[in-house]
Homo-oligomer: A and B are copies of this chain.
Amino acid sequence: MSEPIRVLVVDDHPVVRQGLRTFLDVQDGIQVVGEASDGATCVSQVERLRPDVVLLDLRMPGVDGTEALRRVRALPDPPKVLVVTSFTEPSAVLPAVRAGAAGYVYKDVDPSALAAAIRAVHAGHVLLHPDVVRLLAAGDAPTREPALTAREREVLAEVARGRSNREIARSLSLSEKTVKTHVSAILGKLDVQDRTQAALYAVRAGLV
């Protein structure tokens, strides 16, 4: 931490800017080098001051936070952008995360936590509020597990025992054709190429 981390504060409320500045001035190794009150100013200040980290509010008049973020990210050798927002609705911040924000914290963090966030972001990490992570990990990509039908699970269990289609047909009193149909559906749902991989999946999933 020899060189201080140079920080630009961007928020349309002077009170918030002053608050953040006061927070950060007492932190070792962090130096607030400028402020901006809207997206356009933010971009020009980044070009002029070359900060290491930008603290950016999302809700701003004119060029909004997300757009400012995109423009800053488009600059050569862009700074890390830490979104500091007051609304607790994480879905609003997803576009920002996709646009390349290096982090996302609520305004109510305490000073040392904010400093930790700035240092982490400066060190190259991406830092998110737990809610956002939940949203990304759960809501967005629903991790839909295969959802096999009852019959398909039965067939898969047989496949996982190494049975051939003919054997499965006999044991479940089906035509071999039907077994093939089920196996085919299973492969599609599990997104695997052949019965061997399906069998491995079944074992891993504990369907043996």
Q: Using a CB–CB distance below 8 Å, which chain A residues touch chain B? A: 1, 94, 97-98, 102-103, 105, 109-110, 112-113, 116-117, 119-120, 122-130, 132-133, 136-141, 143-144, 191
Contact = CB atoms under 8 A, between A and B. Distances in A.
Given A102-B130, A139-B141, 20 more contacts: A1-B112, A97-B137, A98-B137, A98-B138, A98-B143, A105-B125, A109-B123, A112-B119, A113-B123, A116-B116, A116-B120, A116-B122, A119-B119, A120-B127, A125-B127, A126-B128, A126-B133, A136-B141, A137-B140, A140-B143
A190 B112 CA distance: 43
A123 B144 CA distance: 32
A8 B118 CA distance: 24
Copies per assembly: 2
A162 to B, nearest CB: 26
* CB-based closest 9 A-B pairs: A113-B123, A140-B141, A120-B120, A116-B119, A136-B136, A116-B120, A116-B123, A126-B133, A127-B127
A7 to B, nearest CB: 14
Contacts of A112: 1, 119, 123
Nearest to A109: B123
Contacts of A116: 116, 119-120, 122-123, 125
Contacts of A113: 120, 123-125
A136 B98 CA distance: 10
Contact of A120 (B94, B125, B139, B144): B125
7 contacts: A109-B123, A110-B123, A116-B122, A117-B120, A125-B129, A126-B128, A127-B128
A23 to B, nearest CB: 13
A112 B113 CA distance: 16
A144 B98 contact: no
Nearest to A128: B126
Contacts of A125: 103, 105, 113, 116-117, 120, 127-130
